[in-house]
Structure 1
Amino acid sequence: MSVGLRVLPGGTHETSVGGFEVGYSRRVGSEVRLPLADAWAVPFEDAAPAREIRSYKGQHNLPDRWWSSTVERHVGYESWLERDHVLLLDFDPAVVGITSQPFWLFWTTDEGRSLSHAPDYFARQCDGSAVVVDCRPIERRKPRDLVNSRPHATLVRCSAGSTGWSVRLTPSW
């Protein structure tokens, strides 16, 4: 069963933050796409993963699933670093919900190229705020990701505004 998200028509760049839209899958199977500014109220902790975590022979990372006592289901991870983050989220008493690969963030570059990015985790906290986690350390990010760091800047800017989200980017160790 594929839980990947198809590109859906709809949404408007005029009402989105910086031209960004969020696409996600409900656990019941329907897919939704909306402006980032409207995503603050979405319970992403209950969403299905926006993309499938794959494994294959010869893979250098370690994809698997962590049994979360917080959400009483498995939460996927693609590396030991992600596993460590989901473990910390699961043991954090302020966290009441966690999901991996919570949504796709869609945007168009100034050159008109469509891009997308799926953060690693979304965690809801008991006060209703949320944390979006992206685990790839900066020294492991591809040059195109550093040039196109606009999605992270937008998420950080939104977290300071109406979304109530904070954003954690994994620093260099």
Structure 2
Amino acid sequence: MRLEEAADLPFENGRMVREIPSHRGQGHMPGQYWVAKWGDFADYESVLESKWLMLLDFDSEVTAFVTQPLEFDAIDARGAWQHTPDVFVRHRDGSALLLDVKNSELRDDPKVLLQEERTRNTCERLGWDYAMVSEPSG
């Protein structure tokens, strides 16, 4: 669908748009997090991502979230790109937040920086907040 049509869709009620790969020798550990808010599992790609799911689960301003919620398939001045963000979050006030969870060692990688810029710009057009996060503080 066109970007303008997506802004008000309830992605928090949707399903994951892709399966999380799991195979021997991969560099991260996928799994499932039991969401206390609604009593069901949410899949995650890494232990780092599971930490963010726990924080969202116990944040009183968060009413719902879904992992691997949508895929951007776009073209900009640098060419065609695709990206599946890690988590879509709906807040109590109705606002939306899109999260990408990245290992801090990868944050300065040019490909990661470009992905962050493209996703942030797209979220601004949608009226959503966006954050690329690493290890939670404290």
| TM-score > 0.5 by shorter chain | yes
Q: Hey, what's the Cα distance between the residues in 2 that align with 1:154 and 1:59?
A: 31
Where does residue 9 of structure 1 map in the other structure?
Answer: none
Where does residue 121 of structure 2 map in the other structure?
Answer: 154
Question: 2:69 touches 2:86 (CA, 8 Å); kept in 1?
Answer: yes
Q: Hey, what's the Cα distance between the residues in 2 that align with 1:63 and 1:55?
A: 7
Aligned-residue offset at 1:138: 5.5
RMSD in angstroms over aligned alpha carbons? 2.2
Where does residue 19 of structure 1 map in the other structure?
Answer: none
Q: Which runs of 4+ in 1 moved over 6 A?
A: none
Where does residue 73 of structure 1 map in the other structure?
Answer: 40
Q: Hey, what's the Cα distance between the residues in 2 that align with 1:106 and 1:53?
A: 18
Q: Hey, what's the Cα distance between the residues in 1 that align with 2:103 and 2:24?
A: 24
Alignment partner of 1:166 out of 98, 113, 129: 129
Where does residue 29 of structure 1 map in the other structure?
Answer: none
Aligned-residue offset at 1:124: 0.7
Question: 1:105 touches 1:151 (CA, 8 Å); kept in 2?
Answer: no
Equivalenced residues, count: 135
User: Structure 2: which 5+ runs fail to align?
Assistant: none
Q: Hey, what's the Cα distance between the residues in 1 that align with 2:19 and 2:55?
A: 22
Aligned-residue offset at 1:148: 4.8
- Secondary structure of the equivalent of 2:120? helix
TM, length-normalised to structure 2? 0.84
2:101 aligned with 1:135: yes
User: Structure 1: which 5+ runs fail to align?
Assistant: 1-33
Where does residue 80 of structure 2 map in the other structure?
Answer: 114
Question: 1:65 touches 1:77 (CA, 8 Å); kept in 2?
Answer: yes
Cα distance change, pair 36–139 in 1 and its aligned pair in 2 (3 A):
farther
Cα distance change, pair 115–73 in 1 and its aligned pair in 2 (3 A):
same
The 5 Å alignment of 1:46-85 reads 46-85=13-52
Where does residue 96 of structure 1 map in the other structure?
Answer: 63
